[in-house]
Amino acid sequence: MAKVIERPKLTWYEHLYLPAVAQGLAMTFREMFKPNITMQYPEERQVFYDDYRGAPVLVKDELGREKCVSCQLCEFICPPKAIVIEPGEIPHDDPDNHVEKAPREFFIDMLRCIYCGMCEEICPEEAIFMSSEYELNGTNRAELIHNKAKLYERGGKRVDSIRKWKDK
C-alpha cells in the first residue's frame, strides 16, 4: 500500500520564489570572502605532522652509511607479512666492516603494507621510518614492491642524537 504524502501548502511569500534566490546568492557571496578550506591538489600538498604514518622507508645515518643491520625484527613483527629481508655480510675490505651485517635485499610489499608502524617501533637500529608519503601508484603490481634501492632513495639521510656506530 503506497503511502501518500500531502504536498505542503505554500504561503504567498514562498510562492514569490525570488526571496529564496536572494537568500541563496547571499550565502554564495558570504562564502566567497571567507578563507579556503580546500586545497589545490596536486599543486598544493598537505603538510603532515612528524608522526604521520605514510609509506615505510629506510634511512642512512649522518655519514651516509646504511643503518639497517638486517636483524629481521621488522620482518618478524610485520602483521601483514609485507617485509622480506635477505640478510648479507658486509665485505671484509669495506671500511664499515665492523658493523658486519647489512641487508643484501630489502623488500616491502606496499600492496600488503597496512601502515601500522610496527616496523618503525620495533627497529633497534632506528633504520626504518614511516615517511609522510601517501601517494603510491604504479602501472603494475611489481612496481609497488619496493626494493632496497627504492627504500633508501625515499628515506634519505637522517641525523639522530644516538650514533651507535660512530666510534666503532
Partner 1 sequence: MITLTINGETTEVEDGKTILQACLERGVDVPYYCYHEDIGIDGNCRMCLVEVNGNTDKLTISCKQPCGEGMDIQTESPEVKKARKGVLEFYLINHPLDCTICDEAGQCPLQDYAYRHGPGDSRFVEEKRHADKRVEFSDKVLFDAERCILCTRCTRFFENVRDSRPIGVCEMGGKSTITLGPNGKIEDPYQLNIVDICPVGALTSRAQRFMQRVWFMDFAETVCPGCSKGCNIQAGAYQGQLKRFEPRRNADVNKSWMCDDGRLSFDTYNLDDRVRGFRALGADATIEQAVAAVRKAVGDGAGVAVLASTKNTCEELFAIRTWAQGKGVTTLWHGASTWAGDDFLKQDDATPNTAGAVALGFVPVPADATAPRGLIVAGDVDIPEHLLDGLDFLVVQAPQVGMLAEGATVLLPGRTAMEKRGTWINHQGIRQEVRPALDPGAGVPADWALWRDLADAGWPSFAHLRAATDEALAGVVPSGGAPAGDVVETSA
Residues contributing to the site for partner 1 (CB under 8 A): 69-73, 75-76, 87-89, 92, 97-101, 124-125
Per DSSP (E only), the strands in 9-160 are 56-58, 83-89, 101-109, 128-130, 145-146
Report the residue number, 55 or 108, with the smaller CB distance to partner 1: 108
Closer residue to partner 1 in complex, CB, 125/146: 125
Give the nearest distance from C-beta 73 to partner 1 in angstroms: 8
Helix (H, G, I), strand (E, B) or coil at 88: strand
Q: Are 144 and 138 in contact (CB under 8 A)?
A: yes
How near is the Cβ of 69 to partner 1 at its closest, in Å?
5
CA distance 56 to 134: 10
**Least Cβ distance, residue 103 to partner 1 (angstroms):** 10
Shortest reach from residue 48's CB to partner 1, in Å? 29
Structural contact between residues 168 and 114, judged by C-beta atoms closer than 8 angstroms: no
Q: Indicate the residue among 105 and 153 with the shorter CB distance to partner 1.
A: 105
